[in-house]
Structure 1
Amino acid sequence: MRQLIIIGSGPAGYTAAIYAARANMNPLVIASSVEAGGELMKTTEVENFPGFPEGIQGPELMSKMLAQAEKFGTDVIYDDVVKLELDGEVKRVHLGNGDVVEALAVIFATGSAYRKLGIEDEARLSGLGVSWCATCDGFFFRQKTIAVVGGGDSAMEEATFLTKFADKVYVVHRKDTLRASKTMQDRAFANPKIEFLWNKEVKHIYGDQLVTGVGLVDTQDGSETTIDLSGLFVAIGADPRTHLVHGQLDLNPDGTIAVHGRSSRTNIPGVFAAGDVIDPTYRQAVTAAASGTVAALDAEHYIAALPTDKLALAAV
């Protein structure tokens, strides 16, 4: 049995692992079997993470975090958690391969999942022109006309990145102003390949085997238009991945995990949460990393306060 299991391998999970490993807690990180490294694995240049004045690619940043965690003794399993038993002094984590791993404490840092438009044919045409990852799929749209849906930083980053490949990139936004930071807005506005379609929502995605166009509805007058496209990139935000803890951990109205004050403590002793699963507002790599630090320190204090006979159960 471990002292600590960390579920999630984004900035919060890896940072928690770095701190926990340096505290001789022998942490085990359970990373996804297919999405290890979190959303930054699908991000291009990261310019605002401290310590990298020239910027760094998202996958490279996550690789460095993983290497740092492993350097201090973190173990990593590339599998998926299918069930959690969090009540009681021993926490049990069920894996997709059938194994069950146990620990005295758990840090839940599973991040968030891309939000879908929820319209007909979105799922059917996923991978056939509909995408949520410009880094993954941009290459396939060389000299094409495509669209990005959204108005935040992610949408502006996606649109700007996609101009490296596409001849034309529409940005479809349901309002007439953006949520994105001024820097990201200015960069998108200055790009001659980007055209903004204001007060528009995507209501239909057309195409048989591949995306051929979308149907738009004007949010002000209800008029409908159609534009020809080869690809549609959805960048309208994300939802916290909390399905594994429903019915066990208290959640906030926005779906994030409720924690006590500025701590990472949940309603169950020995269970801590960090990163996007507790943050509906900032959702930055650096704030997730800081949150992972808090969780590791909280877990360290929790374990240190356990009776000696309980601590002896965990492998050191």
Structure 2
Amino acid sequence: MLDCAIIGGGPAGLTAGMYATRGGLENVVMFEKGMPGGQITQSSEIENYPGVTGEVSGMEFMMPWPAQCQKFGLKHEMVAVNRVSKEGEIFKIHKEDGTISQAHSVIVCTGSSPRRAGFAGEDELFGRGVSTCATCDGFFYKGKEVAVVGGGDTALEEALYLAKICSKVYLIHRRDSFRASPNTVERVKNAQNIELILNSIPQEVYGDNMGVTGLLVKGDSGEIRDIKVPGVFTFVGNDVNNQILIQEDDSFLCDVNKHGEVIVDISMRTPVHGLFAAGDMRLSAPKQVVSAAGDGAVAALQAISYVDEKLNS
């Protein structure tokens, strides 16, 4: 029987693990099938985390986190979780390998996944020229031209990263203004090899047996522009990874809003006693590493109080 099961190994999950173990819970396991670190490990540069200065990639930034957490006793089980259920006062962690773990409390930190933009050819050519990770795939286009789709912080930051590798970056956005931070917008506008294609929507990515060869983009005037590029990177938001909360009758274990975000209070508590949600998957998450880490700490402190009261009552 676990004191606390943590599902997900990103900034929220790792921080929750550190606070839970350091705070006195003795049997805490983080379930994460891959290497801990989360989606931020794909980021090319971290410049807005307090105390972190200089050019640090997401991978470099997250590298020391697991060791720090494990020092206090956090265990890492490298297995995917299919579902979390609750029977009476006990949670059951249904794992991909067919086994089940039991826990007094659960902190779900499964985050979100990059959303597809939805234009023709995107799914067919995904992994063959269409990508959602500039740090993963940007190297393949060194000295070549690429297109980036999106207008938020991630899109602009990755466009800047690609501009250091590629000969030219076409930045395509459906509006004439960006949602990104003013500093990032200014850097993009000053980059000599980034061309802004505003008020425009990608219509179709096309290619051959070798992969992507071009992208058709429609402007607000209706004109179609054919951009000859071997690589297209899309950064148009994320979808919540809430699948493990879906029960056998297709209902959710706890309340979610219309976007699939888990509804929590200010203490990361769901209405289900002992179940907490933290990070990008919770209601109104700012989608920032520092916020996810804070969520994880808050959830862990609440889990400690819940377990202590339950076992000592």
Q: TM-score per shorter chain, which class? A: over 0.9
> 1:231 aligns to what?
231
AA in 2 matched with 1:216 = V
1:281 is displaced (CA, Å) by 4.9
1:215 aligns with 2:216: yes
Deviations 1:189-229 (A, max 9, x none): 111110000011111011022100011112x3333221111
How do 1:28-43 and structure 2 match up within 5 A?
28-33=29-34, 36-43=36-43
How do 1:73-152 and structure 2 match up within 5 A?
73-152=73-152
AA in 1 matched with 2:268 = S
Q: Is 1:31–1:37's contact at 8 Å kept on the other side of the alignment?
A: no
Shift in alpha-carbon separation, 1:55–1:129, aligned structure 2, 3 A: same
AA in 2 matched with 1:27 = V
- Over aligned residue pairs, what C-alpha RMSD do you find? 1.4
Q: Is 2:24–2:304's contact at 8 Å kept on the other side of the alignment?
A: no
Q: Is 1:48–1:55's contact at 8 Å kept on the other side of the alignment?
A: no
1:163 is displaced (CA, Å) by 1.2
1:256 aligns with 2:261: yes
Shift in alpha-carbon separation, 1:120–1:88, aligned structure 2, 3 A: farther
Where structure 2 has 5 or more consecutive residues not aligned to the other structure, the ranges are 247-251
Q: 2:299 aligns with which of 295, 300, 305?
A: 295
Mapped to 1, the partners of 2:73 and 2:11 lie a distance apart of 17
Mapped to 1, the partners of 2:221 and 2:260 lie a distance apart of 33
How do 1:161-176 and structure 2 match up within 5 A?
161-176=161-176
Deviations 1:81-137 (A, max 9, x none): 112213431111111122211110000000110010123321221111100000000
Mapped to 2, the partners of 1:32 and 1:216 lie a distance apart of 38
Q: Is 2:132–2:233's contact at 8 Å kept on the other side of the alignment?
A: yes
> 1:266 aligns to what?
270
Mapped to 1, the partners of 2:187 and 2:254 lie a distance apart of 41
Mapped to 1, the partners of 2:258 and 2:91 lie a distance apart of 26
Mapped to 1, the partners of 2:11 and 2:285 lie a distance apart of 16
Mapped to 2, the partners of 1:10 and 1:281 lie a distance apart of 14
Mapped to 1, the partners of 2:197 and 2:164 lie a distance apart of 20
Aligned residues: 306
> 1:243 aligns to what?
243
Where structure 1 has 5 or more consecutive residues not aligned to the other structure, the ranges are 310-316
> 2:56 aligns to what?
56
Mapped to 2, the partners of 1:32 and 1:190 lie a distance apart of 41
> 2:249 aligns to what?
none
1:279 is displaced (CA, Å) by 4.5
TM-score for both structures, normalised by structure 1: 0.93
1:27 aligns with 2:31: no
Counterpart of 2:165 in 1: which secondary structure?
coil
Mapped to 2, the partners of 1:223 and 1:302 lie a distance apart of 60
Q: Which moved more, 1:248-257 or 1:290-299?
A: 248-257
Counterpart of 2:164 in 1: which secondary structure?
coil
Shift in alpha-carbon separation, 1:279–1:57, aligned structure 2, 3 A: farther
> 1:306 aligns to what?
310
Mapped to 2, the partners of 1:106 and 1:287 lie a distance apart of 19
Query: Runs in 1 of length 4+ with deviation above 3 angstroms?
Result: none
TM-score for both structures, normalised by structure 2: 0.94
Q: Which moved more, 1:94-103 or 1:160-169?
A: 94-103
Deviations 1:129-168 (A, max 9, x none): 1000000001000111101000011001110001122101
User: Could you tell me the percent identity over the aligned residues?
Assistant: 39
1:18 is displaced (CA, Å) by 0.6
Counterpart of 1:47 in 2: which secondary structure?
coil
Mapped to 2, the partners of 1:289 and 1:178 lie a distance apart of 26
Q: Which moved more, 1:122-131 or 1:24-33?
A: 24-33
Mapped to 2, the partners of 1:30 and 1:184 lie a distance apart of 35
Shift in alpha-carbon separation, 1:87–1:195, aligned structure 2, 3 A: farther
1:203 aligns with 2:210: no
